[in-house]
Amino acid sequence: MVRRIIQIDQEKCNGCGACAAACHEGAIGMVNGKAQLLRDDYCDGLGDCLPTCPTGAITFVEREAAAYDEAAVQARRAAACSGGCPGSAARSLHTAPAAAQAPAVPAGQSGPVSRLMQWPVQLKLLPVEAPFYQGAKLLIAADCTAFSRADFHERFMRGRITVIGCPKLDEGDYAEKLTEILRRNDIREVLVVRMEVPCCGGIQRAAETALQKSGKFIPWQVVTLGRDGNILD
């Protein structure tokens, strides 16, 4: 049947993931850092995704497409996060990093506050392009590091986009994706925070390889933490 359905311009898409988060039917997903219409029969043609797109990459077209299948959508929802959890949709939090300011303490709140600037944080889930990378200072941290220091948010995350991973437990090599993040975005500096244990060397090597292959000169630093959280170098 011919009906109204969305179309996503891959050239305009910046990989922010806002449309995927807005699509309650699950018709849109992130594939290789870009939004794609995954299934015609999941798209209801109402366009909840349109106003969320910051680049105007989404439009309506009239074309031959499978009819909207509400039963299939309900079955997908019942399967919860199977095949693509909405919790992986990229979004900015607090102040944009280009402003060179960390998020302020909310009115009426006392004590420590989160300094997380974006979501997600796991390297495997992050898109290679997103607005929050522009003008950013990048923190590449082994995921154990945040548990070793009580002041990790203030000392390392404040004013930085946070990327975490575990080179021992995660499959694959981080270097290729990190290279693309550095190459495609305006990253101003890189801070690598790792533990003293040998397996953490993998995240440092991946960052060093990415910096070399990106073709850019980006200031960078490595901080190594002891098991007790003390800074060793």
Task: Check which CATH number belongs to the domain holding 191 and give it.
Answer: 3.40.50
How many domains does the chain fold into?
A: 2
Average pLDDT of the segment spanning 197-213: 93
Cα 95 → chain centroid: 16
User: Can you give the pLDDT at residue 104?
Assistant: 53
User: Do 153 and 48 share a structural domain?
Assistant: no
| β 2-8/58-64 pair status | antiparallel
For the chain, report the end-to-end CA distance as a whole number of angstroms: 64
Cβ burial 57-71 (10 Å sphere, 16+ → b, else e): bbeeeeeebeebbee
| pLDDT band per the 50, 70, 90 thresholds, residue 105 | low
User: Can you give the pLDDT at residue 96?
Assistant: 43
0.75 exceeded by pTM: no
User: Do 76 and 117 share a structural domain?
Assistant: no
User: Do 131 and 100 share a structural domain?
Assistant: yes
User: Can you give the pLDDT at residue 17?
Assistant: 86
Residues 164 and 177 sit within 8 Å (Cβ to Cβ): no
Lowest mean pLDDT among 66-70, 78-82, 131-135, 226-230: 78-82
Domain residues for 96?
91-225
Tell me which residue of 102, 139, 146 sits closest to 123, measured CA to CA. Answer: 139
Average pLDDT of the segment spanning 98-114: 57
Residue 146 φ/ψ, nearest 5 degrees: -65, -25
Average pLDDT of the segment spanning 214-226: 96
User: Do 104 and 78 share a structural domain?
Assistant: no
Is residue 83's pLDDT more than 60? no
DSSP state of 151: T
User: Do 141 and 71 share a structural domain?
Assistant: no
